[in-house]
A and B are shown apart, each in its own frame.
Chain A
Amino acid sequence: MRVYHFSEQPYPDAWLPGQDLRVTLANKHCDPQVAANLYHRYQDEWMLADELGFDIMVNEHHATSTCLSSVAAVTLSILARITKKARLLALGYPLANRTDPLRAAEELAMIDVISRGRLDMGFVKGVPYEVAAADSHPTGMMDRLWEAHDFILKAMTHQDGPFAWRSDNYEYRAVNIWPRPWQQPHPPVWITATSLPSAAPIAQRGHVLATFLGGYKTRELFDAYRTAYREAWQRDAAPDRLAYLALMAVADTEEEALIRAEKVAGYLRTIARVPEPYRNPPGYGSVADNVRALRAGGQRPGMVLPSGRTIQPITAPCTDLIEAGILFAGTPDQVHDQIVRFNAAMGGIGNLIVMGQGGPLSHEETVDSLTLFGTKVLPRLKTLDATVATAVA
């Protein structure tokens, strides 16, 4: 199992009480000096993660204090030069919210070359509340995601001079990217999914399916991928085709780990602080989804634990989040056991993404947590694939 360290690069000083944190939070609350210090420290933590044997995940969000990474390519470009061994996962590039996939292909190819072939290209639709920040069209987003995907892969693999591309979504006269990517034929592609029907298109292309914070129910999604993969490729999907993201906090004592975990969980606590008009732009969800939402009147369904109990992850205590498989937290041994148990329940996943820094978790706490994980948990997870492969068969 590979383990990626992820931070949203939050600016928790501007998680102002009672205010929405996305789209509308005025940037007068952003002190550029504070932001600079945060960027530097998060980069330092990624450098430490690199030395400890983690891989690295970077994302982007817009117009928010929850995530200072408004351009994933900028963070990745820096990491491409200052890290040595880690895979660099962009998860993701919000392709349906970007109007120019040629520019995306150029950015990604440069990062792949500068890092000497360490880039993983995560392509995502983009979150609903950033349709406004990008001023992209909220209808037809999946079509644009897959077309941009097709375009980028062609741009990266076409080596014989310019080609033209003309469709309703994108129009290019002469596509001929320099540099072409280091990895051949192109860097690995990861795509995010949460609903069962979205697994098959990813499996059919042989890409990595990544999913976030879904808990134990995620097994259904992974199995949907495995089934579609077997149909498409006449062989079983290797564990490295699957990725799962959870929150993570380690400390010498369980008590201290839970204190750290609650800080990391600040990510979850703030995730819904989105102004009403931007939560569900028209066309982002299907008509059927919107009919259900209209009938539900805005109530959240909650998550059912293996025990049958239902929780609301946004407010649930960390002990519940651990039980749910959303959070791995405790002493190194406890965290190891939680991950082994979860991995077995999933039928074996090759890529674990941990949010090793979240919310107001300080640099010192993050360094200690990452170091404990990197020295006492990670080495024992490296051999986990084989164990699980047997369990699956």
Chain B
Amino acid sequence: MVSVSQSSSNEPEVRRIAGCDVEISEAGSGRPILFLHPMIGLQGAEPVLAALAAHGRVVAPSHPGFGRSARPAGCDTVDDLAFFYLDLMDELDLREAVLVGCDIGGWIAAEIATRSTSRVSAVVLSGATGIRVGDRDVQDLADIFALPKAEVDRLSFHDAAHAALDIAAMSDAEVTALARNREATALYGWSPYMHNPKLRQRLHRIAVPALVLWGAQDGFAPPAYGRAYAEALPKGRYDAIENSGHYPHVEQPDIFAARIGAFLEAAGLSGRATTSNVRSAG
């Protein structure tokens, strides 16, 4: 069992969890908020992690294969990531946690919660991928692997300034993380493209309150996709954030955190104290 520091430091440290060396940032205290990052990793996420720390203890790992996190042999599907995070919640003894997942992180959150909500009190899915909505010849999600980078950036951000990266100013470790994020995204999301054909029919199992939080100008995963997600969740509610594309946690971090705070309060889950009971596995 790995003990968890309660410090508010945002510097990621590498810890061995479920047989995998993962980097984890932590901030705040109280109810655990497990932040599951998007395909761009934790790039641009510092402000939102700080803002979320006002609502609980933020635990923000890099998924195996992303950032500086290792990837164990055999971990090559989002299914594997979901089981990894079930193990992580056990090892860190996270109780009544709020899963906040963006993009592929939302997909992972949904996969976790369809398996067990024994350590989960609520789910927030932002720009979540993972389900198939349209007909066989309709693309639900823009194919980032078939589009020029400039077009991917345009679809992903309301304000293109957020997409700009100064590679020359980045350290080797940061550029390596960029390259690893891109490769890991393909590993987990190439085929079936960014979804699990079985996930949508399993979403009915997620009985905890769920907030589907979407960028109103998301050109990668259109708002209709988010609404379909919300409709498939028994306690799902759809909410849009203006002036944001696919990554509202980057473009509107304060609003993003405030909406989550309000959602938790409405669900009776606000407050910094963590209850001690762990519900039995569902």
The residues of A with any CB-CB pair to B shorter than 8 Å are 132, 135, 137-139, 275-278, 281-283, 287, 290-291, 294-295, 297
CB <8 Å contact, A282 and B167: no
Binds A, one of B115-123, B140-148, B206-214: B140-148
Indicate whether B252 reaches chain A with its CB closer than 8 angstroms: no
CB <8 Å contact, B183 and A294: no
CB <8 Å contact, B187 and A295: no
Indicate whether B182 reaches chain A with its CB closer than 8 angstroms: yes
Residue of A nearest to B148 (CB): A276
The residue that A295 contacts in the complex, of B146, B167, B183, B190, with Cβ under 8 A, is B167
Q: Can you report 23 residue pairs joining A to B where beta carbons are below 8 Å apart?
A: A137-B186, A137-B191, A138-B186, A138-B190, A139-B183, A139-B186, A139-B190, A275-B148, A276-B149, A277-B145, A277-B148, A281-B145, A282-B183, A283-B183, A283-B186, A283-B187, A287-B183, A291-B175, A294-B167, A294-B175, A295-B167, A295-B168, A297-B167
The smallest C-beta distance from A147 to any residue of chain B, in angstroms, reads 15
Indicate whether B137 reaches chain A with its CB closer than 8 angstroms: no
List residues of B (160-187) whose CB comes within 8 Å of A's CBs. Answer: 167-168, 172, 175-176, 178-180, 182-183, 185-187
How many pairs, one residue from A and one from B, have CB atoms within 8 Å of each other in the complex?
50
Known A276-B148, A294-B167; contact A135-B191, beta-carbon cutoff 8 A: yes
Contacts of A138 in B (CB 8 A): 186, 190
A137 to B185: give the CA distance in the assembly, Å.
12
Contacts of B183 in A (CB 8 A): 139, 282-283, 287, 290
A268 to B209: give the CA distance in the assembly, Å.
59
CB <8 Å contact, A277 and B146: yes
The smallest C-beta distance from B191 to any residue of chain A, in angstroms, reads 6
A278 to B144: give the CA distance in the assembly, Å.
11
The smallest C-beta distance from A277 to any residue of chain B, in angstroms, reads 5
Contacts of B145 in A (CB 8 A): 132, 277, 281-282
Contacts of B178 in A (CB 8 A): 294
Residue of B nearest to A296 (CB): B167
The residue that B179 contacts in the complex, of A135, A281, A291, with Cβ under 8 A, is A291
Contacts of A278 in B (CB 8 A): 146
Contacts of B179 in A (CB 8 A): 287, 290-291, 294
The residues of B with any CB-CB pair to A shorter than 8 Å are 145-149, 167-168, 172, 175-176, 178-180, 182-183, 185-187, 190-191
Contacts of A295 in B (CB 8 A): 167-168, 175
A294 to B179: give the CA distance in the assembly, Å.
8
Starting from the known contacts A137-B186, A277-B145, 20 additional A-B residue pairs (CB-CB under 8 Å) come to A135-B191, A139-B187, A139-B190, A275-B148, A276-B149, A277-B147, A278-B146, A282-B145, A282-B186, A283-B186, A283-B187, A287-B179, A287-B180, A291-B175, A291-B176, A291-B179, A294-B175, A294-B179, A295-B168, A297-B167
Contacts of A294 in B (CB 8 A): 167, 175, 178-179
The smallest C-beta distance from B279 to any residue of chain A, in angstroms, reads 35
CB <8 Å contact, B176 and A287: yes
CB <8 Å contact, B147 and A290: no
- In order of increasing CB-CB distance, the 6 nearest A-B pairs are A282-B186, A290-B179, A282-B182, A276-B148, A283-B183, A287-B179
Contacts of A132 in B (CB 8 A): 145-146
The smallest C-beta distance from A129 to any residue of chain B, in angstroms, reads 11
CB <8 Å contact, A281 and B186: yes
Contacts of A297 in B (CB 8 A): 167
CB <8 Å contact, B182 and A290: yes
The smallest C-beta distance from A273 to any residue of chain B, in angstroms, reads 15
A137 to B183: give the CA distance in the assembly, Å.
11
Residue of B nearest to A275 (CB): B148
A275 to B190: give the CA distance in the assembly, Å.
19
A365 to B212: give the CA distance in the assembly, Å.
66
The smallest C-beta distance from A357 to any residue of chain B, in angstroms, reads 32
The smallest C-beta distance from A142 to any residue of chain B, in angstroms, reads 14
The smallest C-beta distance from B271 to any residue of chain A, in angstroms, reads 42
CB <8 Å contact, A291 and B172: yes
A137 to B167: give the CA distance in the assembly, Å.
27
Contacts of A287 in B (CB 8 A): 176, 179-180, 183
A283 to B183: give the CA distance in the assembly, Å.
5
A277 to B187: give the CA distance in the assembly, Å.
16
A181 to B146: give the CA distance in the assembly, Å.
40
A336 to B191: give the CA distance in the assembly, Å.
50
The smallest C-beta distance from A285 to any residue of chain B, in angstroms, reads 9
Residue of B nearest to A280 (CB): B182
Contacts of B176 in A (CB 8 A): 287, 291
Residue of B nearest to A278 (CB): B146
Residue of B nearest to A24 (CB): B146
Residue of A nearest to B188 (CB): A139
A328 to B186: give the CA distance in the assembly, Å.
41
A276 to B191: give the CA distance in the assembly, Å.
20
Contacts of B191 in A (CB 8 A): 135, 137
CB <8 Å contact, B190 and A137: yes
Residue of A nearest to B151 (CB): A277
